[in-house]
Structure 1
Amino acid sequence: MLLNRCHCLLPMLTENTLPYKALITVRNAARKGTRERKEKKKVKVVQEKVGFIPHNQRDKDKLLLNRPKLMFDDSDRETPVDNVFIMRKYKMIVYSFAEALQCHRETHHPDMYNKPNADVQIKIELNMVAEKKTRLLDNFTRMAPMPYKINHGEERAILAFAKDPEVQDAARNAGASLAGGVELIKEIQNGSLSLQDFQFVVAHPNILPELVSIRGIMKKKFPNPKNGTLSADMQASVTKYLNGVTYSAIRDEHEKDFGLIETVIGTLSMDATHLEENFVSLIRDVYEMKPKRQGTFISRCLMLSPPSREKFKINHSVYLPVEEVEEPREEEEEDVAEAAAA
């Protein structure tokens, strides 16, 4: 009877009549990353103190963005039709080597600069992209042979190794300071002969097995066929290192694909044909470093002669070998013919 009465009273009870209010629990997950953000806020960020920055180095990144590109390209400019024009709006005039040399000789005439014996400088701009587009060539230093001797401002001593007396005489006649065979190796081992007295060491291949015994003493001066110090033609090898010019190709710090070579090939007082042959030897030696890829490696050659600020672009391509272009196969020719007919 009591149970029935309770069932009857249940519909009459409401939320207001109950002695307590019902508790409603809501379970909502926090947003993703909330805990991480709170933990990061707790971590104190330590600001590094920046020291004094010179005025010429402030806002360096902004200055680099506004800097003109070193890799020169004027292919989109018009060709000048007159002999007087605004240089920055037209293509740079390309001179032959003889024409550029004559222009410098005129400016160094006694009536103007009065420097008839000024140096002839060559600037070679390179595209340092390697075989893969994502790779770049490293800086390199080489010795370019000069057919005609120039004043380097230093006396070079060359040590030549060869077994045959005839080859030794040829090395001496070419200008080697000292030439010999196994007896020189023994003198170096005994300490009576110092390699520090010689800038370069050349050798004939037939004495290479005996030279291995002093390889640790010679270190970087050990003859190597790659740089021409180990060669069967001793006369040419000695002449190269006696009269040659050392040059270095250096990549730009910010424009990584741009490389520059600066060197001297002679003076204005030298014969024009001799200077041209020195230039040809230099440009061909640089071209040997070209990676196996399509496109240009030597982008521009300039001739300068201080104190004049004039620079003349030289047509260097006439001195380089012609690159062979792969001929299309027969299948490709048929496809091209069908496409043209369609």
Structure 2
Amino acid sequence: MNFGRILFKTRFPHVSNSLINRGVLSPIPDVNIQFRNYAARKGTRERKRKAKVKVEIQKVGFIPHNLRNREKMLASRPSKKFDDSMKRDPIDDVFAMRYYKWITYSFEEAVRAHRETHHPEIYNKPDANLYVTIELNMQGEKKTRFVDNFKRIAEIPHPFDHEEDRTLLVFAKDEVARQQASEAGAQLVGDVELIKQIQNGQVVLQDFQYFIAHPDILPELVVLRGVMKKKFPNPKAGTLDPDLKRVVKQFLHGINYQAIKDEYEKDFGQINAVIGPLTMSEQHLEANFAALINDVYDQKPRREGGFIRRCLLWSPPSREKLKIAHEIYLSNKEQSKNQKDEENEPEEAVAL
């Protein structure tokens, strides 16, 4: 067989045989071609098979817009935890606040400054409410645990018009306690008969915002635990107490506040509350502020370090916020709490 002619025709199929026969085109000379089949190396086919494994695409469900690219948003988002300890102290009355520490005012100086800005010649709001912003360290006993959001009503010595409609339902067996609660301003007071009326549907619990009870009626009140749920009276929330007169006044006239944990920085929380109008005396406003600060400090978890980071006084429509030295109102409480912790610690054994 002329292998040269065959190879020539395979490479140039359009060339006719007549040209080759006439010698116009000479085919490739005859060559001896050997065909051999070599087996692949061991494991080669298996490795190629594994390399062709399909990549599974995981389907992700719907993600709200505020949770998309959460890590990128957290990295680009400025931290709310304010710390100016590395900055210099101001040396003059006029300075750029971004380069120096915040000035710490006394409570009276801050109130006078807000009254000046709300003077009739400036904002003309002499009866504006005075707000306080309390920044908290929400870290719990462990570094991976954080304090949950909490809502409370702080008892204050000088009530004011908080512009809220609060309805109270009080349970007590003692007639004297019921009379005191009614005189203090509770909307509805009753004993076991009131519990039966609630079970029969004659009294609707949704019409009341807070439920307060005397400890003597607690066994009969357990039947309503499933209906009241989280509003069931308990000593931690201050709704289960023998002094009903004081508790009713607290829930009717106290400061209603809520600590909200940041969505991204779990160890940062904030409280915004009203402590009274600017028309109140400075001493009364300061007493309300001290009562609120101490009530917030009672929620501190059992760990070392501070709980309240910073306190700011502000009064809309002014955007000015003044930092207050809140530590002076907690000095006695911190000392007493440290003494209690030392008393509760077990004594170390002494080797004889």
Q: TM > 0.5 between the two?
A: yes
Measured against aligned partners, the alpha-carbon deviations of 1:222-263 in whole angstroms (never above 9, x if no partner) come to 211111111011111111111122222122222222111111
Counterpart AA for 1:199: Q
Q: Counterpart of 1:149 in 2: which secondary structure? A: coil
Q: How many Å apart are 1:281 and its aligned residue? A: 1.5
Letter in 1 for 2:52: K
Tell me how far apart the structure 1 counterparts of residues 53 and 171 of structure 2 sit (CA, whole Å): 73
CA displacement at 1:163 relative to structure 2 = 1.8
Partner of 1:39: 53
Over 3 Å counting, the alpha-carbon distance change for 1:45 and 1:89 in structure 2 is same
Counterpart of 1:169 (choices 149, 172, 179) is: 179
What is the DSSP-based 3-state SS (H/G/I as helix, E as strand, rest coil) of the residue aligned with 1:262? strand
C-alpha distance in structure 2 between counterparts of 1:177 and 1:146, whole Å:
21
Relative to structure 1, is the Cα distance of residues 310 and 47 closer, same or farther in structure 2, using a 3 angstrom cutoff? same
Task: Report the alpha carbon displacement of residue 312 of structure 1 after superposing the two structures with TM.
Answer: 0.4
Which residue is equivalent to 1:90?
Answer: 100
Q: Tell me if 1:258 matches 2:268.
A: yes
Partner in structure 2 of residue 14 of structure 1: none
| TM alignment of 1:166-205, pairs within 5 A | 166-205=176-215
* Shift in CA distance, 220/65, structure 1 to aligned 2, threshold 3 Å: closer
Summarize the Cα distance change of 1:177–1:134 in structure 2 as closer, same or farther, 3 Å threshold: same
Residue 208 of structure 1 aligns to a residue whose secondary structure is: helix
1:281 corresponding residue in structure 2:
291
The CA distance in 2 between the partners of 1:32 and 1:144, in whole Å, is 73
Which of these residues, 190, 199, 218, is aligned with residue 208 of structure 1? Answer: 218
Cα distance in 1 for residues equivalent to 2:192 and 2:60: 64
**Equivalent residues, number:** 304
Describe how 1:102-117 pairs up with structure 2 within 5 A. 102-117=112-127
Aligned to 1:120: 130
Is there any run of 5+ residues in structure 1 with no aligned partner, and where? 1-19, 328-342
Relative to structure 1, the CA distance from residue 180 to residue 79 in structure 2 (aligned partners, 3 Å threshold; closer, same or farther) is same
Q: CA deviation at 1:57?
A: 10
User: What residue in structure 2 maps to residue 322 of structure 1?
Assistant: 334
Partners of 2:46 and 2:35 lie apart in 1 by 33
Q: Which residue of 1 aligns with 2:258?
A: 248
- Say which of 283, 298, 315 aligns to 1:305: 315
Residues 36 and 293 from structure 1, CA distance in 2 versus in 1: closer, same or farther, beyond 3 angstroms? Answer: farther
Choose 311-320 or 204-213, whichever is displaced more. Answer: 204-213
> Structure 1 residues 26, 151: closer, same or farther in 2, change over 3 A?
same
User: What percentage of aligned pairs have identical amino acids?
Assistant: 53
RMSD: 3.3
Q: 1:196 to 1:28 in 2, by over 3 A?
A: closer
Aligned to 1:322, the other structure's residue is in SS state helix
Q: CA deviation at 1:157?
A: 2.1
Go from structure 1 to structure 2 and tell me whether the alpha carbon gap of 1:58 and 1:292 turns closer, same or farther (over 3 Å shift).
Answer: closer
Classify 1:30/1:83 alpha carbon distance in 2 versus 1 (closer, same or farther; 3 Å): farther
Which segment drifts farther, 292-301 or 165-174?
165-174
Q: Does 1:234 align with 2:227?
A: no
Unaligned runs of 5+ in 2: 1-33, 343-352
Counterparts of 2:46 and 2:267, CA distance in 1: 45
How far apart are 1:60 and its partner, in Å? Answer: 7.5
1:227 aligned counterpart, secondary structure: coil
**Following the alignment from structure 1 to structure 2, what is the Cα–Cα distance between the partners of residues 303 and 285?**
18
CA positional deviation for 1:110: 0.7
Distance verdict in 2 for CA 1:99–1:187, change over 3 Å: same
Query: What code does the residue aligned with 1:223 have?
Result: P
In structure 2, what residue type is equivalent to 1:209? P
Q: 2:234 — aligned with what?
A: 224
